[in-house]
Structure 1
């Protein structure tokens, strides 16, 4: 079982819920996002941002509730640079210490989605909101704008842009652009666009280029992924 809805915490945020059947790992593709999670067995956790696919293993009946923060929003919510969380799944207590205990107890008592959203909303308010550069860069790179052009648009040199991107997204702009391009191509393919056309529309040199990139980032070729 999986369902999701938009969240009003910050633009692009999503609340999702699932219950594991415990049969097989779930392949989670990189998306530039960081998730604030609650597990019925593990409590409050933080996930991502991932550079490659993560295989999530859960026990039978384990319930998950997540608040998926859009690219660039996590540092304002969690209080740490995104590159400190890269490719990690960590208890929230590792980041916040004893202050994570109270929200963990509230989430376990019921309505974990509301607890996650309230927690993120309060932290964003205290931080003065998410850095607008995160949403701006993500929007431009998601449309296929080259990294150099995106840097010029926001008035940053290559080194400054790389430094800001590591803080906001967990990795540099080229990695983020690569991940967003893969997701754009897969979205087109899921909508019924043939792979060769999806590759061209997403900015790949050809279908073979798409296949190599998806295999590197997702661990499987696109044709196999799309069967799932």
Structure 2
């Protein structure tokens, strides 16, 4: 069981997941998360392909998924250093910095995670750590101040179906510069990010009941077979 909601005023989505089985398949989305896992705060880097999350049935995991290119700015690290990895937040920021962050999150209060927590409580599972994770996300954003708007702008352009050369031109970068930027911002190159975002669009249409042919056409695939090849590649764990 899974639910999520966008956090007001933050470039992020709060989510929770109550595992139904011992393992689950998590597809790539171009984003990075901070999650609460077994009592620890963990940074989850962007996945290039699907990965298998192994847990215990009934275990509640909560987290905040930041929009593409946001979390590296908040943490002061390059995304490619964390790609396909799960690293304790204390290893990324240092224990003292995490302690200050937790203190700031506590002063801000738990916040209101909105309908996500309501859904969890309605299920009787409890969402005691979700507000703290959202408060930590708010504290990260507050201390970072103004974010560089380029990563979000480029991700939106790539997600809209524009080709990499056109996106680079609109961003005032060469394609080589954009490749370097994308590695720092997202953890992989612009072509792969565009591929991931295109598949996410098609997958959302499929989940909403669209036929494979219609979903492929709307997402910009040549045909349903093209979508199938991308799905097989991106959703097969590496």
**Structure 2 length normalisation: TM-score?**
0.82
Q: Where does structure 2 lack aligned partners over 5 or more consecutive residues?
A: 111-126
Which one of the candidate residues 60, 68, 86 is aligned to 2:83?
Answer: 86
| Residue of structure 2 in register with 1:68 after alignment | 65
In 2, Cα distance between equivalents of 1:111 and 1:137: 36
Q: Could you say which residue in structure 2 is the equivalent of 1:226?
A: none
Offset, 1:120: 2.5
Q: How does 1:152-171 map to 2 (within 5 A)?
A: 152-171=169-188
| Counterpart in the other structure of 2:161 | 144
1:101 shift after superposition:
5.0
**Residue 154 of structure 1, CA deviation:** 1.1
Partner of 2:211: 194
SS at match of 1:16: strand
After superposition, the Cα gap between the structure-2 partners of 1:9 and 1:82, relative to the gap in structure 1 and judged at 3 Å, is farther
Structure 1 spans left out of the alignment, 5+ residues: 221-228
Contact in 2 for aligned 1:53/1:218 (Cα 8 Å): yes
Provide the residue aligned with 2:23 in structure 1: 25
Hey, what does 1:204 align to over in structure 2? Answer: 221
Tell me the number of residue pairs that the alignment of Structure 1 and Structure 2 aligns. 215
Contact in 2 for aligned 1:33/1:71 (Cα 8 Å)? yes
CA contact (8 A) 2:22 2:57 kept: no
Distance apart, 1:14 and its partner CA:
0.8
User: Relative to structure 1, is the Cα distance of residues 113 and 129 closer, same or farther in structure 2, using a 3 angstrom cutoff?
Assistant: farther
Task: Give 2:139's aligned residue.
Answer: 122
Q: Give the Cα separation in 1 of the matches to 2:87 and 2:221.
A: 34
Aligned pair partner of 2:189 in 162, 168, 172: 172
- Detail structure 1 runs of 4+ shifted over 6 Å in the superposition: none
> For residues 192 and 35 of structure 1, what CA distance do their matches in structure 2 show?
28
Matched-pair contact (CA < 8 Å) for 1:72–1:131: no
